[in-house]
Amino acid sequence: MKEKVRATIKKYNLIEKEDNIVIGVSGGPDSMALLYILNDIKQEMNFNIYVAHINHGIRKEEADADEEFVKDICSRLAISFYSTKVNMDEYAKKKKLTSEEAGREIRYSFFNKVLNIIGGGKIAVAHNKNDQAETLIMRFFRGTGLEGLRGMEYKNGNIIRPILDIHREEIESYCKKNHIDARIDRTNLEPIYGRNKTRLEVIPYIAKNYNSGIIDTLVRTARLMQMDSEFILEIVDRKYKDITIEEHTNSIVLNIKELNAEHYSIKSRIIRKAIEKINGSLKGIGEKHISDILRLAEENLTGKSINIIKNIIVKASYGNMIIEKENDQRKINFKSTIVTGQDIYIEEINASISSYILPVSKANIKDTNPFKKYFDYDKIKGRLCIRSRREGDRFIPLGMKGSKKLKDFFIDEKVPREERDNIPIIENDGNIIWIVGYRISEEYKVENSTKKVLVLEYKKQ
């Protein structure tokens, strides 16, 4: 068994030289076998091991005894031991999770906390071949796609599974042969959780009545699914780059026309990828959400939007799809006086504006920089200021004769609604002279009679 684990580690590059490996050890046969094997090979492969144990507080005295057992083993093996005690049932109730979901969150949160303490590394968990088969059956019953049928990965981020190729029977035999003591969690022997029912009832029934080698069959299926999934995801990665117009921490903009041109299996994965990027996970995202988003793309109606989970909103806007993680910030209101010859910093929008005066002969009037504009200085009367937009704002856009509502101007310019409040306005004594980044006012343009030019330049910090 040790040779199999060593081969798995090398094949999937699970552990590298001088890695710090935090092993999740419950005290059961699987995690104890993993602990002893990694401890045996750590010197030859040159890595460090640490142990993390979670006392879930469910079995009270038995759980406390498990913790003391693992702590004692680590003391005898001279391995650093970290533990925490959490009431899993209370945590699940508070977070509105199932017991299994709560246990998973608690475990990986603590494992990562230990990683931070020791300066980073990887988390080794003791999932085995039987666990893989159970996972596939549970996902199938719940409903899943190709990616779900991949099962658990040997390596997923900083999580590694060195004994994923090993049968549970082989693990128990290894422990017995090598006189490795282990604790038995009696709750694992009761069909009280979904995974327990799968392990104790579903798989034995299938093995007895349909396929005695169901564990190996399911694991082979997972490997085939992994190969197909990896091929499709490579295509998705390329298409995602082609279709993405903008990518920010909390929002992603996609080209709707190019998205609609793709096969459903590709574009649905592109949407999932975008959501995962801004949300951190796909938890709570189902097939209905994806279908609704793709229907929004097909309709392509500017201004239409849908809320999916929590604060994730998807909007159609002038041929683009905006997938956005909204925050609770309200509109930012600001107003600052512009002093000619000085750089003015506006803290609310983390930007600055500079201003200076030039003879018209030295001004590059044909400059196409949308954030640098030229105005007839003699037309400037009174105070200059930079401010946020207001209800009812109007101005005369360059090239027009009559005034126009700023709202209508933004619509004509196809400025997305969510961006409009963030566009600064330059005002002279109550009159708008520049919509920053878009258009100056006809009333303040440089003409043949202009002698001096006011230059304004806006810079985002």
Q: How many other C-beta atoms can be found within 10 angstroms of the C-beta atom of residue 22? A: 27
- What's the token pair of residue 346? 């506006």
Q: Is 421 within any annotated ligand binding site?
A: no
What is the rounded distance in angstroms from the CA atom of residue 74 to the CA atom of residue 53? 11
What is the rounded distance in angstroms from the CA atom of residue 345 to the CA atom of residue 454? 18
Residue with tokens 């392990």: 199
The phi and psi torsions of 196 (rounded to 5 degrees) equal: -60, -40
Return the ∠ at Cα 76 (arms to 75 and 77), rounded to 5°.
Answer: 90
Residue pair 169/33 in contact (Cβ under 8 Å)? The answer is no
The phi and psi torsions of 23 (rounded to 5 degrees) equal: -100, 125
Residue pair 267/283 in contact (Cβ under 8 Å)? The answer is no
Q: Is 30 within any annotated ligand binding site?
A: yes
| DSSP-assigned letter for residue 200 | I
Closest Cα to residue 297, out of 265, 333, 261? 261
What is the rounded distance in angstroms from the CA atom of residue 104 to the CA atom of residue 257? 40
DSSP states of 127-141? --HHHHHHHHHHHHH
Q: Is 29 within any annotated ligand binding site?
A: yes
What is the rounded distance in angstroms from the CA atom of residue 128 to the CA atom of residue 164? 4
Return the ∠ at Cα 225 (arms to 168 and 274), rounded to 5°.
Answer: 115
- What's the token pair of residue 433? 């002279």
Q: How far is CA 97 from the centre of its chain?
A: 20
Closest Cα to residue 70, out of 34, 16, 101? 34
What is the rounded distance in angstroms from the CA atom of residue 22 to the CA atom of residue 326? 36
Q: Is 31 within any annotated ligand binding site?
A: yes
DSSP states of 116-171? HHHT--EEE----HHHHHHHHHHHHHH---TTGGG-S-SEETTEE-TTTTS-HHHH
Residue pair 31/1 in contact (Cβ under 8 Å)? The answer is no
Query: Which residues have C-beta within 8 Å of that of residue 211, sequence separation ≥ 6?
Result: 217
**Which amino acids are annotated as binding site for ATP, given as ranges?**
26-31
**Which amino acids are annotated as binding site, given as ranges?**
26-31
